[in-house]
A and B are shown apart, each in its own frame.
Chain A
Amino acid sequence: MALCREPVDRRPGFHREPVNTIVSFRNVSVCLGRKEILRDLSFDVEAGETLVLLGRSGSGKTTALKMVNGLLCPSAGEVLVEGTATTAWHPIRLKRRIGYVIQEAGLFPHFTVAANVGLVPRLEGWTPHDIQARVHALLDQVGLPPAQFASRYPRELSGGQRQRVGVARALAADPPLLLFDEPFGALDPVTRVELQRQFLELRRRLGKTAIFVTHDVREALLVATRIALLHNGRLAVLSTPSEFLRAQGEEARAFLACLDSNVASS
């Protein structure tokens, strides 16, 4: 956490972060109208880690995620990405540097799988040859053989396959940071476990930094290197998964309790 660290001059544009902090929330608050969604949120995300934002619906976790790639802006405080405030980044450049995966994948229904995956490289002006090579490599990586899948449309895929395409699309321009907004929330339990495994496998291979939103405490414990538990827009707990299992605090206990009942019923 910020408090545990040496104070660092973080004036926007002043320097690149000396430590490998990719994302840094600095006293971030967000108000929509009179409703306060996030309240004084501060935490850092280091290179290579997977920070899970865990919380109930309405806890502000998705809002926090959307602050990182500039889909939303803080009402107070700032979010630094690679040492520069999101508001100081060029909005398009920032978004293209960050991969984004959402529930149901949000694939473009009128694009083929290949066109979906190759979107950001195409926007970035890669040559068709490079794009094709990249798309095929990515489809292989997420377990969708290009020969079979490249020319299909999203409606011709299962939910799990669509989500794999969503992951491949997010990886396309090789962004250093990936955001996942409940990516596996709409999948059946078996497919969900498959994709969680694939996520861990990709992380091991690619070493990307990721911020991952979920309301599923099991998923959080499985994929996280650190868990940030949000409750009513505040940070309730920030700890490693093993510490989280011993966390006190009412909200953490509530989440851990549903872990127990899950275990009991299975």
Chain B
Amino acid sequence: MTADLAREVIALTVEHLVLVGVSMAIAVAVAIPAGILLTRRAPLQGWVLGFANVMQTVPSLALFGFLIPLPFIGGIGKHTAIIALVLYALLPVLRNTLTGILGVDPAVRESAIAMGMTGRQLLWKVELPLAARTILAGVRVATVTTIGTATIAAAIGGGGLGVFIFRGLASVDSTLILAGAVPAALIALVADGGLGWVEKKLSPA
């Protein structure tokens, strides 16, 4: 591996990490509060989960393509890629937040209310701690998926390790493809392991 290639691998890896990091931060910031809100608004659950489900069924390359012609949010570049990645990451986090909180033993919730906890105390002291592990499992799945999907961002000028893969495909150069695929796979493994470790630590006692 030449020094030039090595430098580029590092640069694109960093770019990839930024894409994934920003997308996941937005997805988590949207999906967890939305999931909490949905536990209080049962009639909306079907609609919102349905939307997130549909987003997930759109093939990723197509979703990137659909976003390009849209005004404001669309176009070529990183921000379009991030929007697409966020849309993908929403569902696992949202669904796990919902199932995590709804999965809290009704007897425990009832006794929390009967002890005189306020709605906020119920959420922060009981529901979120007990759902933390499930929510984090959703974040973990979404992160690993996003790391893979982010390679497609290169198709719309989003950069990241996908740049190598598309270049390698175009020039039929498997070294280049591997230069993109191997670091992406490693990132995914590390993220999976790391979040898995945190998940164990969070296990409700």
What is the interface of chain A, defined by CB distance below 8 A to chain B? 69, 71, 92-96, 100, 102-110, 112, 119-120, 123, 153, 155, 169
**By the criterion CB–CB under 8 Å, are A109 and B204 in contact?**
yes
Q: With A110-B129, A110-B204, A110-B205 in contact, is A120–B107 under 8 Å at CB?
A: no
Residues of chain A with a CB closer than 8 A to B113's CB:
71, 95
Chain A residues closer than 8 Å to B121, beta-carbon distance:
123
A110-B129, A110-B130 known; A123-B114 Cβ under 8 A? no
Quick check: is B1 within 8 A (CB to CB) of the other chain? no
Report B-chain residues with C-beta under 8 Å of the C-beta of A155. 205
B116 lies within 8 A of A96 (CB): yes
Given contacts A106-B108, A109-B130, A110-B130, contact A100 B205 (CB under 8 A): no
Cβ-defined partner of B115 (8 Å) among A93, A96, A110: A96
Q: Is the interface of B mostly helix, strand, loop or mixed?
A: helix
Query: Assuming A102-B107, A123-B121, is B114 touching A108 (CB within 8 A)?
Result: no
Which of B97-153 touch A at CB < 8 Å? 105, 107-108, 110-118, 121, 126, 129-130
Q: Is the CB of B118 within 8 A of A92?
A: yes
CB of B116 within 8 A of CB of A109, answer: no
A104 in complex: contacting residue of B107, B112, B116, B129, CB < 8 Å: B107
A69→B108 contact, CB < 8 A: no
Are B126 and A108 interface neighbours, CB within 8 A? Answer: yes
A103 to B111, CA, bound (A): 10
Give complex CA distance A136, B105 in Å.
27
A108/B116 in contact, CB under 8 A: no
Given contacts A95-B116, A96-B116, A120-B116, contact A108 B110 (CB under 8 A): no
* Contact partner, A119, options B115, B118, B129, B205, Cβ 8 Å: B115
Selected contact of A100 from candidates B105, B108, B111, CB within 8 Å? B111
Sample of 15 A–B contacts (CB below 8 Å): A71-B110, A95-B114, A95-B115, A96-B115, A96-B116, A100-B111, A100-B114, A105-B111, A106-B105, A108-B126, A110-B129, A123-B115, A123-B117, A155-B205, A169-B115
Q: Tell me the nearest residue of chain B to A122, going by C-beta.
A: B125
Tell me if B111 and A102 are in contact (CB < 8 A): yes
Closest-CB distance, B29 to chain A (whole angstroms) = 24
Complex Cα spacing A95 to B116, Å: 5
Do A108 and B112 have beta carbons less than 8 Å apart?
Answer: yes
Residues of B within 8 A of A107 (CB): 108, 111
CA distance A119 to B108 in the complex (A): 13
Are B110 and A123 within 8 A (Cβ)? no
Pairs A-B, 7 closest by C-beta atoms: A106-B111, A96-B116, A95-B116, A100-B114, A106-B107, A110-B204, A153-B205
CA distance in complex: A155, B205 (Å): 8
A90 nearest in chain B by CB position: B116
B126 to chain A, nearest CB (A): 6
Q: Give me 13 other A-B pairs in contact (C-beta within 8 A), A102-B107, A102-B111 excluded.
A: A71-B110, A96-B115, A96-B116, A100-B114, A100-B115, A102-B110, A103-B107, A104-B107, A106-B105, A106-B108, A106-B111, A110-B130, A123-B115
Q: Give complex CA distance A71, B118 in Å.
A: 13
Question: Closest chain B residue to A97 by CB distance?
Answer: B116
Instruction: Report the Cα distance A103→B115, complex, angstroms.
Output: 15
Q: Which of B110, B111, B118, B205 has the most CB of A within 10 A?
A: B111
A217 CB → nearest B CB, Å: 25
B112 (CB) vs chain A CBs: closest residue: A108
Decide if B204 touches A69 in the complex (CB within 8 Å): no
Residues B116 and A123 in contact, CB atoms below 8 Å apart = yes
Q: What residues on B are CB-neighbors of A93 within 8 Å?
A: 116
Quick one: which of A108, A109, A153 has the most chain B CB within 10 A?
A108
Distance between Cα atoms of A131 and B113 in the complex (Å)? 20
